[in-house]
Amino acid sequence: MALWFAKSRTIIHHLKREVGFMGVFHQNIWTSSSSSSYMQPGPLSSIFPFNSSQRFKSTKAASQHEHLYSTDDDGGDNSQADITYPPFSEEKAEGLDFPGGNVACISEMRFLSESTGMRIPCYSVLDGNGEIIVGSDYEQLSEEIAVKMYTSMVTLQMMDTMFYEAQRQGRISFYMTSTGEEAISIAAAAALTADDIILPQYREPGILLWRGFTIEEFASQCFGNKDDCGKGRQMPNHYGSKKLNFVTISSPIATQLPQAVGVAYSLKMDKKDACVVTYTGDGGTSEGDFHAALNFAAVTEAPVVFICRNNGWAISTNISEQFRSTYLFSCLLRLPFSFSCKGSPCTKPITLSGTIQCFFLSAFLSLGDGIVVRGRAYGIRSIRVDGNDALAVYSAIHTAREMAISEQRPVLVEALSYRVGHHSTSDDSTKYRSVDEIEYWKKVRDPVNRFRKWVERNGWWSEEEESELRSSMKKQLLQAIQVAEKTEKPPLKELFSDVYDVPPPNLREQEKQLRETIIRYPQDYPSDVPL
């Protein structure tokens, strides 16, 4: 085997040296000729897309490569005694040329540390009282946009409550809330345009709400009736809208990420003034698709913005168990919020300023420093933002979008937040985290209340408008649920349509068998589905 390998290297080197194999030394490759019995050199560029001048720019490195594989067969000496290497200091000054680029040399053996020792800071604009942190750099919001952001957040919060209760009553089969994370979807949606394409995970209904998806359309999807644009084929909460550039949600984790890069690359090819925005949770970053997508995006320079909702929990898996890099952040979430004041125990939660909150969110991230640092590993520009600060999220996504489109590059945004609700209606999060922890984030760190304080401080909102909004929205939600529940289901034939232009025999056979089963066991079939 060793002899075969040595001979193979010699043959490969001979081909490289004589015919420019793979474009390393020459720009010609052997091509057949009909007028002679031997091979003639032809242009290499017609086969390989790269130019040989980009390889081994250093003649010194090329010369060493020649000597390293020289043999008696091609006029060289099989020993390495005649190889002359330049002094190391000379190489150190010039560096070494490799196919991947020029690399500087050092004489010290040095391993990269697992951590830089410094935490990536968390970008925040509003403090806990809804006041602008002094010196903040942020995008200005008009009254119209700010009020729409706030009312959309309230609507999403109320919609989650009503649909969650409908599931608990057995009226729908499944639901997932966005409680505690409303700012990440609503503020991001406000910073985008209608032409930007969204590939969501499953806590982004706020984007659809912002773009005009009606309460009635949400209800129809959850009840799977004939007005559902997905024709009742998807689980509740798995929305989609071609009209609103919102790709239908799918349950498998992180599969949307590499797909988003492909969509973004198509926008790049078509020179569209738009980008792709895709979401995942902290659990999704443990999937291979996350890493494949980042590398794919970096290599193709696709205009895609990755938004990771780092909410502390991947279902019941805490981030301390998800990856090594966030153990201390987990400790922050678990800290008991009872302190002593002048010898007497404090009975009320202590409200921290926005600056202090930002410090704790960033400083308690440990060695690997969460998700944001993973972008740098793939050569992607990245930022960490306070996901409970709507103004910070808006500003970060607004700037990330501009970068993605104007510079044709991917951007990674890690939004630190907390999942206040259960993972879904199939989960009971009190089995793996304390009620006190949940209540703290629900009451003290609520992104909706935090943004409301800022809007009110600007004179754009009042208590009367708040009461009117909540009363009106409650009536609208109740009405939409009642109508959707009574609306007829899609007909049976829709179960087999929209895939093939002409259904194949096996699909026709399945439909036939299903109809025969319904006739045989009518009592086991839902009566509200037209045959």
Please state, in angstroms and rounded to a whole number, the distance separating the CA atoms of residues 220 and 204: 17
Beta bridge partners of 276: 197, 304
Catalytic residue among 115, 251, 471, 497: 251
Beta bridge partners of 451: none
DSSP annotation of 302: -
Nearest Cα to Cα of residue 306 among 356, 367, 256: 256
Beta bridge partners of 413: 307, 383
Please state, in angstroms and rounded to a whole number, the distance separating the CA atoms of residues 449 and 164: 21
Read off the tokens for 413.
């945004």
Catalytic residue among 424, 466, 494, 511: 424
Look up 124 and say whether it is catalytic. no
Look up 185 and say whether it is catalytic. no
Cβ neighbours, 10 Å, residue 168: 11
Catalytic residue among 165, 321, 439, 509: 165
Catalytic residue among 13, 238, 422, 423: 423
Look up 471 and say whether it is catalytic. no
Cβ neighbourhood burial of 341 (10 Å; 0-12, 13-18, 19+): exposed
Read off the tokens for 210.
């912002």
Read off the tokens for 304.
């895609």
Contacts of 235 (CB under 8 A, 6+ apart): 173, 174, 251
CA 408 vs CA 249, 303, 370: distances in Å: 26, 5, 26
**What is the phi/psi pair of residue 382, to 5°?**
-140, 160
Contact 354, 131 (CB under 8 A): yes
Cβ neighbours, 10 Å, residue 372: 25
Look up 251 and say whether it is catalytic. yes
By annotation, the residues acting in catalysis are: 165, 251, 423-424
